[in-house]
Structure 1
């Protein structure tokens, strides 16, 4: 038999509204995004753990609001402009005077010109440890909404999306098998799907429970050695 052909296809992350799965764990956050024209102070902090869908939901909002999306770390390299704006991963600039000053100017300009502002982070804005007092006070005055940890329904939907982003159709028995054994987090789902994809490409084997058992064992061993 000739060796099976292996194609390392690009990951194409689906970020449209139709690709965002609404369940109890995220329904409140989705409702707040949907009502963005009525935000009381025209700004919102969207918070949640790694991989919880913050970036996806920010892209949904940006499409609906005609907004720009910028990483907080990149703001200092750009000239502030009016208009709706989403700033991702704000806690990552804590203590960076240049980046904090840039966000302060963007914040003031966007709101002064009648725009709306969406900020994202892993934790409550009160824990972002922003050093610039004027910016810290403005962030503390920003209403927030949280994406909650996933239930089984949402975690299964996230796994399906992660596989679809990699153009992978797993064996039907894989998802219930994984849900019984994996860590209950979005970060774990992303790590497992990436490892399954890499191992399947390297071995030419189908992505099912047998392959997943090997991958989970390898990931556990890596965690023990870390």
Structure 2
């Protein structure tokens, strides 16, 4: 049996393409009920590849939101919502504090995302972050990881047999980022060697590119 994917290699950040599981259900519900956020703010925490950006794009469409960057000078104070991603990378604490305050003052719904809860030297900023309603995207379950594995292959128009899918799944780390990197490296090696995706090719990828999770030599 073969899985033949006909999608172009382009990520579609639509609500229809978002895979809902127990680990992200709370975050999904949060962005769908943004009108009820305390102080107009919500913080979503989750590792890289967990779908934070996908959720942010769903929220932007749902709420008519605008993505703002850390160095934005003039902001649209008439916007219905703002999205501020990856705040752990924000170096200027005063600027971040200012943006959070502006959103509250102008009743602008503010979605904030981060991989982890940052710790700030500016006490007032830390107080704002601590007071923000927070949802954590949990570690993925097997069902979601299988779906994501298929999604990453479909995004790249790759053909993978059910046996190879099972071979991959039983040898991979249970994390969002690992699945993403694994498919990228399988695609890379398959193109370089002009080979179809087989268990031996996957094993070589695991050994060459991802030694932290070596394939079982007995296979």
TM interval, shorter chain, is: 0.7 to 0.9
Residues 1-226 of structure 1 correspond to what in structure 2 (within 5 A)? 11-70=9-68, 74-82=69-77, 83=79, 84-93=81-90, 96=91, 99-123=92-116, 125=117, 128-221=118-211
- Deviation at 1:122? 1.4
Q: Is the 8 A contact 1:42 1:116 kept in 2?
A: yes
Structure that is richer in helix per residue: 1
8 Å contact 1:81–1:110 — kept in the other structure?
no
Change beyond 3 A, Cα 1:184–1:117: same
Which structure has more relative contact order (CA 8 Å, sep 6+)? It is 2
Shift of 1:77: 4.1
Separation (CA, whole Å) in 2 of partners of 1:152 and 1:222: 20
Q: How many residues align?
A: 205
Tell me, yes or no, if the aligned pair for 1:45 and 1:142 is still in contact at 8 Å: yes
CA RMSD of aligned residues (A): 2.0
Deviations 1:186-223 (A, max 9, x none): 11011101101111110111123221111011124488
Q: Name the SS for the 2:119 alignment partner.
A: coil
Structure 1 residue ranges without an equivalent (≥5): 1-9
TM-score scaled to structure 1, two decimals? 0.83
Change (3 A) 1:222 1:26: closer
Closer/same/farther in 2, CA of residues 108 and 165 from structure 1, 3 Å limit: same
**Alpha-carbon distance in structure 1 between the residues aligned to 2:158 and 2:122:** 45
Segments of 5+ residues of structure 2 without an aligned counterpart are 1-7, 215-219
